[in-house]
Chain A
Amino acid sequence: MTAAPPRERPVDQRPTARTAVRIGFGELMRPVRGQLAVAVAVQAVSCVAAVVPFAAVAELGRVLLTTPVDRQAVWTIAVIAAGALVLRTLLLLAAGCLSHLADVTFQHITRRRLAAHLGTVPLGWFTASNSGTVKKAVADDVQALHHLVAHTLLDLTNAVVMPATAIAYLLAVDWRMTVICLVPLALGALCYFRAMGGYAEQMIAFDQALSKINSSVVELVRGITVIKTFGRTERGHARFRRSADDFATFFLAWVRAKTAISATADLLLSPVVMLTTVLIAGTILIESGTLAAVDVLPFALLGLGLSAPMLAIGTNIIALRASRQAAERITTVLSTPALAEPAEPRTIDDTAVDGTTVEFRDLRFTYDGGTEALRGIDLELRPNTVTALVGPSGSGKSTLARMLPRFWDPTEGAVTIGGVDLRDLDPNTLYRTVSFVFQDVQLLNTSVRDNIALARPDATLDEIVAVAKAAEIHDRISELPSGYDAVVGTDVQLSGGEAQRVSIARALLADTPVLVLDEATAFVDPEAEVAIQRALSRLARGRTLLVIAHRLATIRGSDQIVVLDNGNIAEQGTHDDLLARDGRYAGMWHAQQEASAKRGGLR
């Protein structure tokens, strides 16, 4: 078995994540800051313009109520109101359009930035769980910032400028009425923010309840075969029902606790209450003779609209929290340390006799800073020799093999090719020298031709066909209606064995002097397996080979066999040497012979 890479690397950036975010957040937005500033300015103007039509209607009242009516003035005011309304609308839309365009640009820039950065982090970082993280960061989290970039700033501008302008105008009309108007508003705001209190904690509990549903539904559907075949439908089902009930109960308890206060806030901020307040206060003041009747009008028109922008603040706070988390995940990915690039990249002379000698020198490596996966490996791979790594799962075979294409850098010691430390080597030189064929072959969703020509996009079709033939995949490709232009995953579904042969063709075309190989083949029928084996034999010819071996029989002809145990080299030598020594390798060899003799004896 291969030594599986650790399932999840501890996120060691955690403690510093917060500070990193605060720096990172403004940093992320920098490319669109200018655009957003313009949008905010336009929005602010539109807010001022929004007050004009209401003020105009109030003024209209004033003119209409004075006799004789100045007809000219009436029409002028009406036209101003209409014009301001149109202007307000156009500016509002312009601001929205600008901020949305800024968001599209922001998303594009951030995604490219993430991709560019991911191209520099150690390959070892790309575990299964981290590729989930990548998808979430690049696709979902960047999208999750949409509200923040496109809406929040504008909404906040609206929430400040519009009431401020309106209140300024109202103060000019009558300060007492203005103060009275502000009373329900202030009380409402108070209740509103109290209703929002504890939101963050509740949201965490909410997410937990939700993720319980999530895991129970996943368990229900993934375990459905087991559930049914063992007649335990009730069991898997019961857990799902329970978590659904818990969720509903939790949600109800949460909102019930808040119903009274949030309903009060709703009411205080509602137009009905504001209208009642304005009209009652207005009537009293008019009766007392200290307010002109017509001065009630601005309050009836504008006072009612004061609360709406404020309510938007609440929505935006919620959105802001969600986007903070998203931004945090993005900056966490962006702050993943990159593989150190050499200051003065060196190249190697692969034509020299020892040009491609690989050396592991006192190599130590740990994934997490704790247990060492490799504890002092000294090993030399001479040009054109085959070295096989064997050992139980967890012994460090895969880790050691993956040090050569620089999935990780050593914690201590060094890996050298032609005497040059991999860390000093120009990355392009490294990958022109070392290639690999691993078990978990993934092909790109593009043409077969491009998949093979990955290393040399300028390869001619003849060259591609030649390697495809050598990899025994040409016949399969030729059968396809669109041949080498068939898009993998769209036009054609390749089986595991076929994908493996495409990856062998790819490596053949790359034609590097050093090759790292995982011998285990995905299970295929015997005919395909033989084809893969022939292809691998052709690929191995004339190269320095490092093989992760599973079936000892396969590698018994190797120039050297290295037995790993717990990160150390336990034994080293040829098959015959090691059998003669009668140590670990000999034990493994006999166990495997026995197991294969026993296997399948069903009766």
Chain B
Amino acid sequence: MIGKFRRLYDDEHRPAFDWMLITAALAAISQGVAFALTVPVLTALFESRPGDAWPWLFALVIAAIVYAVLHYTSLTIGYSAGAQLARIVHHRLGDHVVALPLGWFTERRTGELSQLASQNVVQLMRVAAMQVRPLINAIVVPLTVFAAMLLFDWRMALAGALAVPVVAVAYRLFGNLISRTDHTVDAASAQASGRVVEFARNQPVLRAFGQREHGGQLLEDSLRRQHDTGRAQIVSGSVGLTGYIVVLQAAFVWLLLAGVYLALDGTLATPELLGLLVLAVRFVEPLIHAADDGATLRIAGNTIDRVEKVLAERPLPQPENPQVPEDASIELRDVRFGYDDDPVLDGVSLRVPPGGLTALVGPSGSGKTTITRLIARFHDAWDGGVLIGGVDVREMTTETLMSQLSLVFQDVFLFEGTIEENVRIGRADATDDELREAARRARVDEIVARLPDGWNTRVGEGGWTLSGGERQRVSIARALLKDAPIVLLDEATAALDAHNSSAVTDAIAELTSHRTVLVIAHDLNTVAHADEIVLLSDGRIAERGTHAELLAGGGDYARFWSYRDQSNSWQLGAAR
């Protein structure tokens, strides 16, 4: 477990952690020695020669001072080692994830990563700084005490030693009894949490449809299950804990009885026995804490496993001899790809010449988005090639590839900062004139004029102070400033009001002129103007051609558009 911690450190800071371990162990030894000195002191006192106790007391004071110094040292190093651990883990995580393929960042993973980088790393820091030392103490003190007992009376030491494997077996046995129920309790709690969220989110529906009491049976049942598993865990856990502690206490009783027997037998001097019994308490007590500290460390170990799992994710491979694209064309050659075992794209080939406009259409799940994601190298294809300007994307550095592309997707992310900073992400060294020009063309100037602090208005976390249409215009301004030759565009599907919709349309028109465009199209006009339309179905290209050709072909595309016309002319309540 401690080895796992050591692995997380870099070479520069590992020695500090090791020093903490060493000083903590030495402090524990000096503590054990101090305890051991009790025996000669008490012996001297009980044998009515208190004067003889002084040398031993002097040694005791020395041991106490050594302990104090070592404890202080270990504490100081430990705090700093803990803080360093947090820093190192944060940096390692940060450095590593930015090198991962963009496709790695799913909703679930980003949630897990946030949790890992905040609460969990802090937990590791706390354990490293504050809880490793007590564990070392809990192990090394009894060992030292045992060694001392061996010096004083081998039979008592042996009796103590006999207790250790029994205690260890009991710990394992009963510890299992406790942790075996963890899983069911966790599952029941997770389920109940899910039900709670569902209950809150669906409150209007639940109430409107008559499920007012306790949010319906679903929540009620899951809370009941959580309660029952919790109870069951406590019952079995109590049995486990009782077993363990009784065994532990039995070890002391065993020592006591053995000692009394030896004393009555006359083979162990009473003063020594009494000293040894004081020592026996110091032998048993740390072991009780060892169980708790061990459990904390085990949980930290699981966290470390999760950190290491993230660190073990393979970064996007970078080419050995990076190449540069020759023009602004896009090409897919017989591409196969899937997110799990099932292919989402199953042999797709297409080419967009420089300056061309190709529209991807098809039902949801047909692979449109996946194509754009492969071009931007969120993932690498299983088979076939994805080429930009005649060069496979895997033969380019990430920088080269990204410099060719502008991505305008639906979920626009703005950084907490000013509007200006957010547009400037497009090109850090852009002049103010260039910035204003991009803003004008994307109609961001209107937004800026409306906002209280103009360009210096902060957009809030994720840009929430702006509407969806406005955020999209900011992202287009960014892309205009970047001025990449290829645009990958996912047309907005959310309903925008007339003004926003028209502004976004203008902005997109600015962005897409004179560039190579691959667009996931939802709109009739976009498609009608495309040089080529590609209709995807189940990861294959079902139809391709111009709007007129496809309509004339009378295939799925034609049917698709007849539905579109039908839906556009629909009126609510018209059927009455």
Contacts and interface: CB of A to CB of B under 8 A. Distances in A.
Majority-rule SS of B interface residues: helix
A524 interface: yes
A248 B226 contact: no
B175 interface: no
Contacts of A235: 425
Given A82-B256, A86-B246, A595-B501, A600 B523 contact: yes
A276 B34 contact: yes
How many residues of B sit at the interface, in one of the four size bands?
35 or more
Given A96-B238, A525-B363, A64 B273 contact: yes
Interface string B342-377: 000000000000000100001110000000000010
B382 interface: no
Interface in B234-256: 234-235, 237-238, 241-242, 245-246, 249, 252-253, 256
Contacts of B464: 7
A214 B118 contact: yes
Contact of A231 (B34, B402, B495, B497): B402
A422 interface: no
A526 B529 contact: no
A523 B118 contact: no
A147 to B, nearest CB: 14
B210 interface: yes
A75 B270 CA distance: 14
Contact of B53 (A283, A407, A536, A551): A283
Given A89-B242, A135-B197, A221 B113 contact: yes
A118 B215 contact: yes
| Residue among B398, B519, B573 facing the most chain A CB atoms (10 A cut-off) | B573
A393 B469 CA distance: 12
| Residue among A267, A536, A559 facing the most chain B CB atoms (10 A cut-off) | A267
Interface string B37-78: 010011001101011011001001101100110011001100
28 contacts: A60-B260, A61-B46, A86-B249, A93-B242, A101-B234, A104-B231, A107-B227, A119-B215, A126-B201, A213-B117, A214-B118, A226-B415, A229-B402, A244-B94, A248-B83, A248-B86, A251-B125, A272-B67, A294-B46, A296-B42, A296-B45, A301-B281, A434-B208, A523-B494, A523-B522, A545-B573, A600-B505, A603-B513
B318 interface: no
A92 B273 CA distance: 28
B566 interface: yes
Contacts of A282: 45
Given A283-B50, A555-B572, A529 B563 contact: yes
A428 B210 contact: yes
A1 B201 CA distance: 21
Contacts of B575: 537-538, 540-541
A276 B110 CA distance: 55
Nearest to B196: A138
B180 interface: no
A272 B34 contact: yes
A116 B213 contact: yes
A355 interface: no
A522 B31 CA distance: 70
Interface stretch (A30-38, A357-365, A441-449): A441-449
A478 interface: no
Contacts of A283: 41, 45, 50, 53-54, 57
A550 B495 contact: yes
Contacts of B95: 237
B485 interface: no
A61 B261 CA distance: 14
B98 interface: yes
Interface string B73-95: 00110011011101100110011
A293 B45 contact: yes
A220 B97 contact: yes
A14 interface: no
A386 interface: yes
Contacts of B213: 116, 119
A248 B399 contact: no
Given A225-B409, A305-B285, A600-B528, 14 more contacts: A104-B231, A111-B226, A112-B220, A219-B415, A237-B98, A293-B48, A304-B282, A444-B202, A506-B209, A553-B569, A554-B572, A599-B501, A599-B523, A601-B509
Contacts of A134: 196-197, 199-200
A89 B249 contact: yes
Interface in B499-551: 499-502, 505, 508-509, 512-513, 517, 519, 521-529
B79 A255 contact: yes
